[in-house]
Amino acid sequence: MSETLTPDICIIGAGAGGLALAMGAAAFGVPTVLIEKSEMGGTHLHHGSVATRTLAEAAQAAHDMRQSSKLGLAPSEPRIDYAAVRAHIQTAIAAVAPSVSEARMQAMNLRVLRGNAHFGSAKSVQVGDIKVEARRFVLATGAAPVLPPITGLEYVRALTSETIFELPELPKHLLVIGASTHGLELAQAYQRLGSRVTVIADSPLLPEIDDELRQPLFDELAREGVVLQAPVEAIRIDPDSAGLRAAYRHQGRDETCAASHVLIAEHRAPSVHGIGLEQAGIAFDHDGIKVKRNFRTSNWRVHAIGDVIGAGSTQATQVQAGLLLRHLLFRQPVSFTPASAARVIHTDPAIATAGLSETEARAKDAALRIYRLPLSEADAAHAGLPVHGLVKAMVARDGTVLGASILGPQAQELIAPWQLAAMKRLRIEDMAAMPIPAMSLADASRRTALQHFSAKFRSPSVQSLIGLLRKLG
C-alpha cells in the first residue's frame, strides 16, 4: 500500500549533518522526514572520528606506559590484546549510537524512513512504496572511500576507513597510501600498538598547515618509527608471500616497501549516484553537488550540505547544518567559509586551527601581528609527561582575532575559545581577559594574548602616565 508524506523538510542521509539538521528542525516542531539507507550516524560514528579516536586513546595509553620513567615510574612494554582493543572500539560506538538512533529520532517526532531515496521528479522522492513531497529537500549523503587508479591494487586486499577496523589481527607492517589527516592519525595509532607503519602519498602531507606546526608533528612521527615519504610518483602494488610490495619513486630514487596490509587513506568520492539527481535537475560532478548561496542546488527546492559538497570534516558539516537550519526556518541569508569550523588533526601532538592561517591572514591584513608562545609557559605543562607545543595567534592591525593555531596535547580542546573569537570577531584584549583555572594548559592561550600589551606597556605615553600617578601618591 503506497503512502504520500508532505513534510516541511525532507533530509536524505542520517550522518553528522543530516542528524544535526533533523534534530534542530524537530526542536522547533517542524514536520521533518529523515531518510537513511544504511547505518544511523554515518561515517562519523561507525568508521570515522569515534572509532579512530578510540583506537588512538588505546595507543596513547600504550605510549604513556613506555614513557612512564619520566614520572618516576618503572616503564613497561605493554602487551597489546588487539581483539580487546577492537572490542573497546565497538563498545564506544555502541555507547554513542543511542543518541542518534532511529528510536530517539522517532521520540523527537521525526519520521524516519529506511531505504534508498530516489528523486522521481524535481519535487518528490520515492522510498520503497512511500512518496515524499516536501517543501524543501536537503541532501546530506556524505562521501565514501574509492580506490585510486594504482597499478596492481586490484590484486591485493586494500583496506579503507570503512574496513580497517574489521581486521582480526594487528597488521605487522601497514602501508598507508594517502595524504589525509585520517591516514596520519591511524598511522601513529598502529605504530604505537606495535605495527610497523610506512606512509606514502602522491602529494605533500598537510600542505594547509603552517610548517612551524606540521614539522614538529612529522619529527615526532619519525621518532616513533613511522616512515613518511611524500610526495612520491609511479606507485605500483604487487602481491607477494608476505602480503604485498609497493614500488614507487621518491626524491628521484626508486624505492620499495614490503608490507602485510595496505590502507587507502585518501580518496573519498561524494555519494551522488543512485539518488536520481538528473531527474531532479540537480547539477553535480566528480567533486560533488554544486551549491550556490544558502546551500541551494540548481533545483531551488533542494539544498545540500556536508561531504557531498566537500565539507571535509564533521565539524564543518555540523556548522553547515546549523546555518542551513537558520535559512530554512527564518529565511536568513547564510554562507559558509572553511574558517567557520575548526580543523583538528588527532595525532600526538595534536594540531588544531581556527579562523585564518598565517598565509590567509597576511593576504587580508598587511599589518598582521603574530603572537607565539610555547605551551611549556603554562604551569600545567610541567605536572605530567613533558609537554611540547605552540600557541600561535593571528591578529589584525585593529586587534581583531583573525585566526589561531595550536600544536600540542589537548589542542582540540584549547582551540575552542580561539574559534569563538575568530567567528565573532573578538579582540585580542578579550582573549587576554579570559578567566583561566589554575594549572590549566589553556593559560598558554591567555599568555599568548597578553603579548599584545607588552609594547603598549613600554610606550612613552603609558610610562609617563604611570610616572605621573606615582608622583600623585
Q: What percent of the chain has pLDDT over 90?
A: 85
Q: Contact 129/2 with Cβ under 8 angstroms? A: yes
Q: What CA–CA distance (Å, rounded) separates 360 from 408?
A: 22
CATH for 3-144+269-339 (3.90.470.20, 3.40.630.30, 3.50.50.60, 3.40.50.2300): 3.50.50.60
Domains 3-144+269-339 and 349-457 share a fold: no
**SS3 state of residue 143:** strand
* pLDDT tens track for 8-50: 999 999 999 999 999 999 999 999 999 999 899 988 888 888 9
At residue 4, the pLDDT reads 95
**SS3 state of residue 156:** coil
Q: What CA–CA distance (Å, rounded) separates 305 from 323?
A: 10
Q: What CA–CA distance (Å, rounded) separates 74 from 5?
A: 65
CA atoms within 13 A on the CB side of 178: 26
At residue 72, the pLDDT reads 92
Q: Contact 143/307 with Cβ under 8 angstroms? A: yes
Q: Contact 17/323 with Cβ under 8 angstroms? A: no
* pLDDT tens track for 374-432: 999 999 999 998 888 999 999 999 999 999 999 999 999 999 999 999 999 999 999 99
At residue 85, the pLDDT reads 97
* pLDDT tens track for 84-119: 999 999 999 999 999 999 999 999 999 999 999 999
pTM of the model: 0.92
pLDDT beyond 90 at 224: yes
Residue 466 burial (CB count, 10 A): 11
What CATH code is assigned to 153-267? Answer: 3.50.50.60
Q: What CA–CA distance (Å, rounded) separates 282 from 311?
A: 18
The residue type at 257: C
- Cell 517542524, located at residue: 30
Any idea which fold 349-457 has? Enolase-like; domain 1 (3.30.390)
Q: What CA–CA distance (Å, rounded) separates 306 from 271?
A: 11
Q: What CA–CA distance (Å, rounded) separates 342 from 353?
A: 6
**Burial group, residue 447, by CB count within 10 angstroms (0-12, 13-18, 19+):** middle
- Report the pLDDT averaged over residues 329-338: 88
Q: What CA–CA distance (Å, rounded) separates 122 from 13?
A: 18
Q: Contact 355/418 with Cβ under 8 angstroms? A: yes
What DSSP line would sit under 93-117, residue for residue? HHHHGGGG-HHHHHHTT-EEEES--
- Cell 593555531, located at residue: 405
Residue-averaged pLDDT of the chain: 93
What are the helix (H) ranges across 68-206? 82-96, 102-107, 181-193
Q: What CA–CA distance (Å, rounded) separates 124 from 120?
A: 6
At residue 10, the pLDDT reads 98
Q: How confident is the model at residue 266 (pLDDT cuts 50, 70, 90)?
A: confident
The residue type at 350: A
Q: What CA–CA distance (Å, rounded) separates 296 from 287?
A: 16
Q: Where are the domains of the chain?
A: 3-144+269-339, 153-267, 349-457
Q: Contact 296/302 with Cβ under 8 angstroms? A: yes
Distances 193 to 159, 224, 386 between C-alpha atoms, Å:
18, 11, 21
At residue 457, the pLDDT reads 59
**SS3 state of residue 280:** coil
Residue 394 dihedral angles phi and psi, to the nearest 5°: -105, 120
* pLDDT tens track for 116-170: 999 999 999 999 999 999 999 999 999 998 899 999 999 999 999 889 999 999 9
What 3 state SS string does 4-41 have?
EECCCEEEECCCHHHHHHHHHHHHCCCCEEEEECCCCC
What is the end-to-end Cα distance of the chain in Å, rounded?
A: 90
